[in-house]
Amino acid sequence: MTTSGKPYLTGKYRHNLDDKNRVTIPSAWRSLFDKETTFLAIPNPGGYVTVLPPVEADKLYDKFAEVPLSDVEAQDEISAFMASTQAFKFDSQGRIALVESLFHHAELKGPKEEVVLVGGFNKFNLYSPARWAIAEQKSTPSSQGNVMRRFGI
């Protein structure tokens, strides 16, 4: 599927949290990466969690590295943001357990509750079912067309 060597994270999956609040990442996505790959989970301002593979996390790293230490306001914001992120690897069964701050940011409910995993092409997102329903309602053929035109697609 990926002839360019870039992983295409596509599709939508619904998985339930286990008793330890872990969610299984779809095998179609896990198979795109080495078992020892480290991902970065970040709070998305839209109220869900975005998971960045290394190549995308590296872009964020490079941007943050450019911020001068003398820009105290930006450094404080970067620190606050990074304090709410999580670096992780999938466990042997392809699961992840989010830290509490990310878990609550995405309004995930707890054991046995559903999580919606949505591919974002170069990343993937974890939504509560309620938040995903809102996102789905906002997206129409017309709005999708507008975004495509905005980016010249």
C-alpha–C-alpha distance, residues 148 and 153, integer Å = 5
Going by pLDDT thresholds of 50, 70 and 90, the confidence category of residue 5 is confident
pLDDT at 4 over 80: no
Going by pLDDT thresholds of 50, 70 and 90, the confidence category of residue 67 is very high
Mean pLDDT computed over 61-90:
97
Q: Which domains does the chain have, with CATH numbers?
A: 12-150 (3.40.1550.20)
| pLDDT score recorded for residue 3 | 54
Dump pLDDT digits (tens) for 94-152: 999 999 999 999 999 989 999 999 999 999 999 999 999 999 999 999 999 999 999 99
| pLDDT score recorded for residue 128 | 97
31-68: burial string, b at 16+ Cβ within 10 Å, e else: eebeeeeebbbbbbeeebbbbbbeebbeebeeeeeeee
Dump pLDDT digits (tens) for 24-61: 999 999 999 999 999 999 999 999 999 999 999 999 99
